[in-house]
Amino acid sequence: MKRPTRQKARDDQTKHETTEEEGVRSCPECDSSSLVRSSDESEVSCEDCGLILEEETIDRGPEWRAFNHSERNSKSRVGAPTTQTMHDKGLTTTIDWKNKDAYGRSLSSDKRNQMNRLRKWQERIRTKDAGERNLQFALSETDRMASALGVPRSVREVASVLYRRALSEDLIRGRSIEGVATSTLYAACRMEGIPRSLDEVSAVSRVERMEIGRTYRYISQELSLEMEPVDPKKYVPRFCSELDLSEEVQAKANEIIDTTAEQGMLSGKSPTGYAAAAIYASALLCNEKKTQREVADVAQVTEVTIRNRYQEQIDAMGIYS
């Protein structure tokens, strides 16, 4: 049977497709209903055979062209997108510090003094009451700690949203602002799959580890955050990178974790200590030996923890040292 060409399929498209009001569409060539729209929303294509069903030549981008970041910024006529990491969501007005007019000419002495006074009052009126000042301080603390931990911007956004939720539900009363900000950042790291241990978070915070844990448990319970146990394998790439170990060691450590976790050995164990012991064992098996002290320093656990978890893991794997 001769298969119709794609051009003929496009010509017969209107005959085979149902109307938009019916809400059901299919590919005229393979009768598949798996239709996808491109990221720039200019094409609709079939996911199975690749036939393009709709084409639009409308360019929804700007009318100007830019070839580098500075040129793009100079031609752009819009500001930065709104963000939850700022107390006013980034919708405030900023007075530049360059002391130059629109034509690039330097301002006179009187104008500079006037601009300095305007900047001072602009900073003062950005926060209208104590609540906004506290929110500004909390979000700045979150941003500082996130930078020190090296987590991406998405984690900062999630942490800011969690803090705003805690603030709206009056969960901060009787607790320190830094403690709640640190606990929401810790929760955001877990939610985004970029886990950081409590020791790592407390190292960049101004709050004790015990208070962070207590506040985190309270916030997660009150906000009904569904937190799954941290997978030790998520720590393996970072620890191996800091220890300068090969991918072979990393793969072997993941294998040890998978095998021992299936036997129920992970329950009740610290994920950082469990990952550190698996890395120590895999490094020995791959002839890239690291001392227990080196692994313990990177994972921020004790050597005793690594020895105990290591002995349990090699016994479960049937490896005898």
- pTM of the entire predicted model: 0.67
Cα–Cα distances in angstroms (integers) from residue 9 to residues 4, 17, 18, 50, in the given order: 7, 11, 15, 12
Residues facing residue 55 across a β-bridge: 43
Position 240 scores a pLDDT of: 92
Whether residue 193 has pLDDT greater than 80: yes
Tell me how far CA of residue 165 lies from CA of 66, 135, 146, 157, 213, in angstroms: 40, 12, 19, 12, 19
Domains plus CATH for the chain? 130-223 (1.10.472.10), 232-317 (1.10.472.10)
- 17: pLDDT strictly greater than 70: no
Which pLDDT value is given to residue 130? 82
Q: Are 214 and 183 in contact (CB under 8 A)?
A: no
Ligand-binding annotation for 240, yes or no, is no
- Mean pLDDT, all residues of the chain: 83
User: Residue 142 — pLDDT band, cuts 50, 70, 90?
Assistant: very high
286 is in an annotated binding site: no
pLDDT at residue 171, as a whole number = 92
Closest CA to 97 of 83, 112, 85: 112
The size of the chain, in residues, is 321
What pLDDT is recorded for position 296? 92
Whether 321 shows a pLDDT value over 90: the answer reads no
Question: What confidence score (pLDDT) does residue 24 get?
Answer: 45
Is residue 30 marked as binding? yes
Q: Is the pLDDT of residue 119 over 70?
A: yes
C-alpha span between 41 and 186 (Å, rounded): 37
Percentage above 90 pLDDT, the chain? 39
The reported pLDDT for the residue numbered 320 is 61
Calpha distance 217→211 (Å, rounded): 10
Tell me: pLDDT of 183 over 80: yes
Q: Report how far residue 135's alpha carbon sits from residue 87's, in angstroms, rounded to the nearest whole number.
A: 6
Q: Residue 106 forms beta bridges with which residues? A: 100
Q: Bigger pLDDT: 186 or 64? A: 186
* 3-class DSSP string for 77-129: CCCCCCCCCCCCCCCCCCCCCCCECCCCCECCHHHHHHHHHHHHHHHHHCCCC
Is residue 188 over pLDDT 90?
yes
CA nearest 127: which of 138, 141, 143?
138
Residue 248's pLDDT is: 92
Rg over CA atoms, the chain: 28
pLDDT at 315: 87
Helices then strands, each counted (H, E), the chain: 14, 3
27 annotated as belonging to a binding site for a ligand: yes
Q: Which of 4-18, 196-210, 221-235 has the lowest mean pLDDT?
A: 4-18
Reduce the secondary structure of 23-63 to three states and give it as a string: CCCCCCCCCCCCEEECCCCCEEEECCCCCEEEECCCCCCCC
Residue 192 has pLDDT above 50, yes or no: yes
Tell me the pLDDT tens digit for each residue of 160-180.
Answer: 999 999 999 999 988 999 999
Position 80 confidence tier, pLDDT thresholds 50, 70, 90: confident
Residues 48-77: tens digit of each pLDDT: 888 888 776 666 677 788 888 888 878 877
- Inform me whether the pLDDT recorded for 15 exceeds 90: no
